[in-house]
């Protein structure tokens, strides 16, 4: 899964570079590599390398690693240009794949953003933790002490509250939306 993410990140970064470099006013002294009409600037290379370093924190940047990384970008660019020459980027299958990736990324970013917002709003009180502990202790007299259970119970209550808040938000969005379905057509499928 991690390889797929890195691969697609690289592909989309290359596509973005193609779009950005076509009409750009690049200074030739900042061009690290060219592949036909494609120009890779030093800053674009550094940005890509930094993004991949962010994904793989164990990546050690050495001269051979930089050279290999540049070679990979060049090879990807050659393959992208060939795919474009064959008009594979205009095929319906490709376009559907990009749409699905775009949708999934957009949803993931929305969920991440909302989760961070919810995280800031969630408060777990000492009384809630104590009540949860007493409830567990009632069913299991041999339960560990409150001080041993407190961090786990706090996390559990926090997660339950976050899940409930997130679900409430999704329900509110659903309630506000104008949704119509054709049950007859669904039955016919």
Tens of pLDDT along the chain (189 residues)? 444 445 555 555 555 554 444 444 446 789 999 999 999 999 999 999 999 889 988 888 899 999 999 999 999 999 999 999 999 999 999 999 999 999 999 999 999 999 999 999 999 999 999 999 999 999 998 999 999 999 999 999 999 999 999 999 999 999 999 999 999 998 999
What pLDDT, on a 0 to 100 scale, did the predictor assign at position 180?
93
Is the Cβ–Cβ distance between 62 and 47 less than 8 Å? no
Domain ranges of the chain: 2-90, 122-189
* Cα–Cα distance measured from residue 160 to residue 129, given in angstroms and rounded to the nearest whole number: 12
Q: Which two tokens stand for residue 141?
A: 């007299």
For residue 83, how many C-alpha atoms fall within 13 Å in the half-sphere facing its CB?
Answer: 14
DSSP structural state of residue 34: E
DSSP structural state of residue 189: -
For 127, the enclosing helix (H) or strand (E) is helix 126-139
Burial of 82 (0-12, 13-18, 19+ CB in 10 A): exposed
Nearest to 38 by CA among 4, 97, 84, 7: 84
Q: Which two tokens stand for residue 29?
A: 């002294």
């Amino acid at each position: 899964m991690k390889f797929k993410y890195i691969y697609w990140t690289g592909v989309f970064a290359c596509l973005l570079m193609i779009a950005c470099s076509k009409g750009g006013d690049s200074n030739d002294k900042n061009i690290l590599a060219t592949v036909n009409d494609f120009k890779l600037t030093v800053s674009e290379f550094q940005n890509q390398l930094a993004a991949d370093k962010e994904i793989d924190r164990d990546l050690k940047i050495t001269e051979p690693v930089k050279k290999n990384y540049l070679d990979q970008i060049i090879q990807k660019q050659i393959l992208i240009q060939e795919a474009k020459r064959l008009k594979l980027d205009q095929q319906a299958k490709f376009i559907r794949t990009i749409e699905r990736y775009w949708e999934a990324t957009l949803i993931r970013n929305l969920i991440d953003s909302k989760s961070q917002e919810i995280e800031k709003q969630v408060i777990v009180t000492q009384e809630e933790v104590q009540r949860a502990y007493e409830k567990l202790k009632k069913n299991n007299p041999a339960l560990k002490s409150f001080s041993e259970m407190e961090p786990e119970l706090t996390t559990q209550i926090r997660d339950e509250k976050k899940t409930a808040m997130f679900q409430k938000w999704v329900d509110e969005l659903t309630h506000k939306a104008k949704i119509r379905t054709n049950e007859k057509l669904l039955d016919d499928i």
